[in-house]
């Protein structure tokens, strides 16, 4: 990048980080992105769910999410050991990636989509894969991997609401009430997927209750319990296989499984992975192939489209959602340069 291009890329990043975009309220940030593409004479619009769409050469689709989790981190640039560091919510997850994708799309002529709702329900990416008529050749999804890393795999997600009811009775009675039924079911599920400590987390099903409510019903005739649950699914399983196992441990009660995202694990030998490795080496880095224990929009794209996918972006993913979220601007610059080179190489091949 030239100095002027680097300055513009940083300016976009800072504007995006300064513009709050908590999930469900991405509109102002989406307008900033739209203005950026308009300044570069690119076709661009905001679709009916709030995604920013800038179609062009579908040899590569560059995409990242606009939304962030809540959290007020004063936006500022500080110097640390000679490095300029941008502080602010979303600087790492994932506005560094979002700005890098937008900059590279303008510089190379690749297609771009900024999606909404990734932190909640992936509403934006789910809309794209069902509404878009043609698949791109390659998807590069923006998530923090560090400028010298690419993410090939994410676990899937199974989320649901467990509900159980029992007759009311005196607490001295030995029979289980609904609260005990819920706890027992979850303990059986947790034990089913227990692993030795030496098994990598990426290869485990991990089960987490995220909310629990229980007690006497308003009419006093029953005891009720409700539990929100999430299970992370490694590529060894499909989401339906994990659901069947969890349902098999039910003994009373029902689960409404409302959130299902399949796991993804891409080969390191795809054209897009090779392009990243070669480019990172040329930039003086030692390429790292990553597997992440969470879930991203890459899962959605990989599940619905028969195309090669990878996730890439600046920043330390340990800072995702953290109160000290910050991004070194020199790393951001490197990631933009890598992304532009990779995209140009893939477009030439398409």
What are the structure tokens assigned to 279, written together? 């480019």
Q: Which residue would you say has higher pLDDT here, 156 or 220?
A: 156
Catalytic member of 38, 47, 58, 67: 67
- Would you call 236 a catalytic residue per the annotation? no
Catalytic member of 118, 181, 224, 297: 118
Return the pLDDT at 237: 97
Start and end residues for every CATH 3.30.70.360 domain found in the chain: 156-261
Domain 3-155+264-349 CATH (choose: 3.40.50.620, 3.30.565.10, 3.40.630.10, 3.90.1640.20): 3.40.630.10
Return the pLDDT at 326: 97
Whole-number average pLDDT of the chain: 94
Looking at CATH, the fold of the domain delimited by 156-261 is given as Alpha-Beta Plaits (3.30.70)
Confidence of residue 167 (pLDDT cuts 50, 70, 90): confident
Q: Treating both helix axes as pointing N-terminal to C-terminal, what angle do 27-39 and 3-18 enclose, rounded to 10 degrees?
A: 160
Residue 286 has pLDDT above 80, yes or no: yes
Confidence of residue 4 (pLDDT cuts 50, 70, 90): low
Start and end residues for every CATH 3.40.630.10 domain found in the chain: 3-155+264-349
Residue 2 has pLDDT above 60, yes or no: no
Confidence of residue 218 (pLDDT cuts 50, 70, 90): low
Across the range 84-104, mean pLDDT stands at 97
- Would you call 67 a catalytic residue per the annotation? yes
Torsion of CA 63, 69, 75, 77, to 10 degrees: -60
Across the range 48-69, mean pLDDT stands at 98
Cis peptide before 160 (omega within 30 of 0): no
Confidence of residue 80 (pLDDT cuts 50, 70, 90): confident
The 10 Å CB-count burial string (b at 16+, else e) for 240-255 is: eebbeebeeeeeebeb
DSSP string, 40-87: TT---EE-TTS-EEE--EEEEEEEEE--B-S-----EEEEETTEEEEE
Confidence of residue 174 (pLDDT cuts 50, 70, 90): low
Residue 309 has pLDDT above 70, yes or no: yes
Return the pLDDT at 195: 86
Across the range 294-310, mean pLDDT stands at 97
pLDDT tens for 107-124 read: 999 999 999 999 999 999
């Amino acid at each position: 990048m030239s100095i002027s291009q680097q300055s513009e890329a940083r300016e976009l990043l800072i504007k995006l980080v300064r513009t709050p975009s908590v999930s469900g309220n991405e509109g102002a940030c989406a307008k900033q992105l739209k203005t950026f593409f308009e300044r570069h004479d690119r076709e661009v619009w905001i679709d009916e769910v709030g995604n920013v769409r800038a179609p062009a050469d579908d040899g590569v689709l560059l995409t990242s999410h606009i939304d962030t989790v809540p959290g007020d981190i004063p936006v500022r640039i500080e110097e640390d050991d000679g490095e300029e560091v941008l502080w602010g919510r979303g600087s790492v997850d994932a506005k560094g990636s979002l700005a890098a994708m937008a900059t590279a799309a303008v510089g190379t002529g690749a297609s771009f989509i900024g999606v909404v709702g990734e932190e909640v329900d992936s509403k934006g990416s789910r809309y794209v894969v069902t509404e878009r008529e043609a698949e791109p050749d390659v998807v590069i999804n923006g998530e923090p991997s560090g400028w010298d890393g690419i993410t090939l795999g994410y676990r899937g997600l199974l989320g649901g609401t467990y509900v159980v009811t029992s007759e009311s009775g005196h607490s001295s009675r030995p029979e289980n009430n609904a609260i005990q039924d819920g706890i027992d079911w979850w303990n059986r599920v947790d034990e089913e997927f227990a692993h030795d400590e030496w098994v990598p987390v990426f290869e485990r099903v991990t089960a987490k209750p995220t909310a629990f409510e229980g007690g006497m019903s308003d009419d006093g005739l029953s005891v009720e319990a409700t539990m929100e649950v999430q299970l992370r699914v490694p590529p060894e399983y499909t989401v339906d296989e994990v659901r069947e196992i969890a349902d098999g441990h039910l003994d009373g009660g029902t689960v409404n499984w409302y959130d299902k995202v399949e796991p993804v694990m891409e080969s390191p030998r795809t054209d897009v992975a090779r392009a990243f490795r070669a480019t990172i080496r040329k930039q003086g880095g030692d390429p790292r192939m990553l597997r992440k224990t969470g879930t991203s929009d890459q899962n959605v794209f990989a599940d619905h489209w028969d195309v090669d996918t990878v996730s890439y972006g600046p920043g330390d993913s340990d800072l995702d959602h953290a109160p000290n979220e910050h991004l070194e601007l020199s790393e951001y610059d490197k990631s933009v340069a890598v992304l532009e080179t990779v995209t140009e190489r893939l477009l030439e091949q398409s």
